[in-house]
């Protein structure tokens, strides 16, 4: 099936089987390998992308379902000049990654979260980010990075 998907503002076209997962289309057809594939059943969150601005698991969508839709992957976060977003900078400053396998999913989830709810307590960050797993950091650095960018309820 012929599909066309807007990823990070550029159109990507390809011929896919109905069973091709969106995660595989993003990596193998579009060549955007920043999106990682972990568990392939929706548990780990590594493959999270934004579909029309909302985070979704790309391993739980078929590529054909994204035809005509707009996706944001981790490659689309930084500006065209390569300048990192405040969230990405906070991840480096707070040691929010070690091996980096989960990082794209965390960034995409946190980016959508902060847009929807800029004011967040630490407990709320932990609850909202619970759908992404990290096996290196113990989460402390990740939570600290999101907190650094969020407005805390006391400041609001």
Partner 1 sequence: MKPAPFAYEAARSLPGALRLLGDGDAQALAGGQSLVPLLNFRLARPALLVDLNPIAELSYLRRSDGVLRIGALTRQATLERSAVVQHGWPLLRQAVRMVGHPAIRNRGTVGGSVAHADPSAELPVALTALGATFILRSARGQRTVGADELFRGPMSTSIAPDELLTEIEVPPAPQGAQMAFVEHARTHGDFALAGAAVVLAPEHAAIALLGAGATPVRAVAAERALLAGATDGEAATLAGGELCDEYRRALVTALVTRALERARR
Out of 59, 74, 97, 104, the residue judged to bind partner 1 by CB under 8 A = 59
Binding mask 63-102 for partner 1 (x = CB under 8 A): -xx-------------------------------------
φ, ψ dihedrals at 42, nearest 5°: 90, 5
> Which neighbouring-strand residues pair with 15?
2
Q: Does 18 bind partner 1 (CB under 8 A)?
A: yes
Q: Does 14 bind partner 1 (CB under 8 A)?
A: no
Q: Least CB distance from residue 11 to partner 1, whole Å?
A: 20
Q: Chain centroid to CA 56: how far?
A: 8
| Residue 99, Cβ density class (10 Å: 0-12 exposed, 13-18 middle, ≥19 buried) | exposed
> Which neighbouring-strand residues pair with 4?
13
Q: Both ends of the chain: CA-CA distance in Å? A: 49
Out of 19, 31, 79, 155, the residue judged to bind partner 1 by CB under 8 A = 19
Q: How far apart are CA 47 and CA 38, in angstroms?
A: 7
Binding site for partner 1 (CB under 8 A): 1, 17-19, 21, 24, 40-42, 45, 48, 51, 54-57, 59-62, 64-65, 109, 113, 127-128, 130-131
């Amino acid at each position: 099936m012929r599909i066309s998907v807007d990823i990070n503002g550029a159109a990507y076209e390809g011929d896919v089987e109905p069973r091709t997962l969106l995660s595989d289309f993003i990596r193998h057809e579009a060549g955007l390998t920043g999106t990682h594939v972990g568990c392939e059943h929706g548990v780990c969150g590594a493959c999270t992308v934004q579909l029309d601005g909302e985070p979704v698991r790309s391993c739980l969508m078929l590529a054909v379902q994204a035809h005509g839709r707009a996706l944001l992957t981790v490659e689309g976060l930084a500006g065209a000049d390569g300048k990192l977003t405040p969230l990405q900078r906070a991840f480096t400053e707070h040691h929010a990654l070690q091996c980096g396998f989960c990082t794209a999913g965390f960034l995409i989830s946190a980016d959508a979260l902060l847009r929807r709810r800029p004011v967040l307590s630490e407990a709320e960050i932990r609850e909202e980010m619970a759908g992404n797993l990290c096996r290196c950091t113990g989460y402390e650095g990740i939570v600290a990075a999101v907190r650094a960018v969020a407005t805390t309820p006391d400041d609001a």
